């Protein structure tokens, strides 16, 4: 992603500047209707039991792999690897804040960047299950002044809306007018700005897959409009709380003058470049959730247990909705997908303001991998051996032949 609204502060080691950093009840989400009952919990759910881990019994192969990744590829971040609902390995490697020499802790909160999209899509599918919205509803049903016709919730979920990327649009607008970037915009304010300036879309709706943050910023606004509460409150009450995610929250610069997380994002593979949260850290839904490796494991387990949305709804979310890339890769409803004979992996990457992550859920082999980093570099392109250790397919587009782009967000 092009650098936008990031104040990258070059700092000598001796003078490092502190930076905070028509419905029926038998329908499926493949059509336009929705059932009106919430999913019942399918099994007992005990977050404390799920999070139990004894470092003395850590998987030595995984430990060796990550220390090598840390030392040779400069991975800096937190790690959790689980199989069969049991944590095999977790660790925190490196700095939370290089200036203050604060080390990462296992419950350090990271800006999830685009991993947030998995939470937003879950919220949308909840609202669909509860009959609050339809996937084929037009955005104009919720925001009548929205300047584009024919963009539905389904097209937003699958990145087929054709919208321009609001990140670049807002960036250019603020630069042109020299507006202050200290206070973050809300989702509604971005929607009003789009309605006022009517920026040209990239292409017509449903013409092609075009990943960009606008889709999930709009979904965040729809969640607020439909639920009648803030995105932060909705996901807290309906996702974080039932999943036991006590270390997860939404932090928006439209609400907080200083983001209350001690983990600072660093760009350009350098501790000298800390990223200052700004106006673009106001909108949420495309990003903006802060969480831990443990809480993302609980999110995975809550989904697997049917605690958040029904299994059939999840199956629809994990169904390919775009042309296949490299023979294996696709995008569903807020999830990246890997498919091969006998294999099914859902995952998402994240890259924003000095944070870079990958969140992997192997549905066939029951493996969960959570890697959250706060030093942007190419370390996460060197984890093929980790996938092989866990007996799962390699989740990296460049590892496969065939047509299609290989970049990640």
**What pLDDT digit, counting tens, does each position of 103-138 carry?**
999 999 999 999 999 999 999 999 999 999 999 999
Domains of the chain in start order, with CATH, are: 50-95+109-393 (3.40.710.10)
Residues with Cβ within 8 Å of 227's Cβ and at least 6 positions away in sequence, in order, are 127, 132, 234
Token pair 């997860």 is found at 248
**What pLDDT digit, counting tens, does each position of 77-88 carry?**
999 999 999 999
pTM equals 0.91
The helix/strand/coil state of 359 is strand
**Sequence-ordered strand ranges (E) for 243-308:** 249-250, 274-275, 289-291
> Quick one: tokens of 254?
């439209």
Selected residue with higher pLDDT from 253 and 11: 253
- DSSP conformational letter for 289: E
What residues form DSSP beta bridges with 352? 355
Helices (H), 163-242: 166-177, 187-197, 214-227, 231-235
What residues form DSSP beta bridges with 289? 250
User: How many angstroms separate the CA atoms of 16 and 397, rounded?
Assistant: 37
Cα-based distances in Å from 271 to 28, 70, 78, 97, 349: 48, 15, 17, 9, 22
38 has a pLDDT exceeding 60? no
CA 338 to chain centre: 17
User: How many angstroms separate the CA atoms of 148 and 168, rounded?
Assistant: 18
> Quick one: tokens of 320?
């390919």
User: How many angstroms separate the CA atoms of 251 and 249, rounded?
Assistant: 6
74, 309 contact by CB (below 8 A) = no
30, 319 contact by CB (below 8 A) = yes
Catalytic residue ranges: 114
> Quick one: tokens of 246?
């006590």
Q: Tell which residue, 131, 76, 89, 59, has the closest CA to residue 369.
A: 89
Residue 213 has a pLDDT of: 98
Residue 404 has a pLDDT of: 56
> Quick one: tokens of 263?
């983990």
User: How many angstroms separate the CA atoms of 10 and 94, rounded?
Assistant: 20
Q: Tell which residue, 239, 363, 345, has the closest CA to residue 289.
A: 239
**What pLDDT digit, counting tens, does each position of 312-363 carry?**
999 999 999 999 999 999 999 999 999 999 999 999 999 999 999 999 999 9
Count CB neighbours of 144 within 10 A: 8
Residues with Cβ within 8 Å of 395's Cβ and at least 6 positions away in sequence, in order, are 338, 345, 347, 358, 360, 387
231 has a pLDDT exceeding 70? yes
């Amino acid at each position: 992603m092009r650098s936008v609204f990031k104040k990258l502060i070059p700092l000598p080691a001796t003078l490092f500047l502190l930076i905070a950093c028509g419905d029926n009840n038998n329908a499926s989400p493949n059509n336009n209707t929705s059932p009106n009952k919430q999913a019942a919990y399918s099994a007992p759910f005990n977050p404390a039991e799920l999070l139990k881990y004894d470092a003395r019994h850590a998987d030595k192969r995984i430990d060796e792999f990550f220390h090598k990744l840390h030392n040779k590829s400069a991975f800096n971040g937190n790690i959790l690897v689980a199989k069969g609902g049991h944590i095999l390995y977790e660790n925190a490697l490196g700095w939370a804040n290089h200036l203050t020499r604060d080390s990462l802790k296992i419950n350090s909160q990271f800006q999830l960047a685009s991993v947030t999209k998995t939470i937003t899509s879950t919220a949308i599918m909840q609202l669909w299950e509860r009959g609050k919205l339809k996937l084929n509803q037009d955005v104009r049903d919720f925001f009548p002044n929205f300047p584009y016709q024919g963009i539905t919730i389904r097209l937003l979920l699958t990145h087929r809306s054709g919208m321009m990327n609001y990140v670049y649009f807002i960036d250019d607008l603020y630069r042109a007018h020299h507006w202050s970037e200290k206070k973050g915009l809300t989702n509604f304010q971005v929607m009003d700005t789009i309605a006022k300036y009517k920026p040209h879309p990239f292409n017509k709706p449903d013409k092609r897959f075009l990943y960009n943050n606008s889709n999930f910023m709009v979904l965040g606004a729809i969640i607020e409009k439909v639920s009648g509460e803030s995105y932060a409150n909705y996901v807290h009450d309906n996702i974080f709380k039932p999943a036991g995610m006590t270390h997860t929250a939404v932090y928006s610069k439209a609400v907080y003058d200083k983001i209350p997380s001690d983990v600072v994002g660093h760009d350009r593979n350098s501790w000298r470049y800390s990223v200052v949260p700004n106006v673009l850290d106001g909108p949420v839904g495309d990003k903006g959730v802060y969480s831990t490796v443990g809480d993302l494991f609980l999110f995975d387990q809550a989904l697997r247990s049917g605690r958040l949305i029904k299994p059939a709804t999840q199956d629809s979310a994990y169904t390919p909705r775009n042309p296949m890339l490299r023979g294996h890769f696709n995008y569903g409803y807020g999830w990246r997908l890997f498919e091969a004979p006998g294999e099914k992996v859902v995952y998402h990457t994240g890259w924003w303001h000095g944070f870079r992550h990958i969140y992997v859920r192997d549905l066939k082999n029951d493996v969960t991998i959570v890697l959250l980093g706060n030093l942007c570099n190419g370390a996460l392109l060197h984890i093929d051996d980790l996938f092989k250790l866990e007996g799962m397919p390699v989740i990296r587009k460049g590892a496969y032949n065939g047509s299609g782009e290989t970049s990640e967000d």
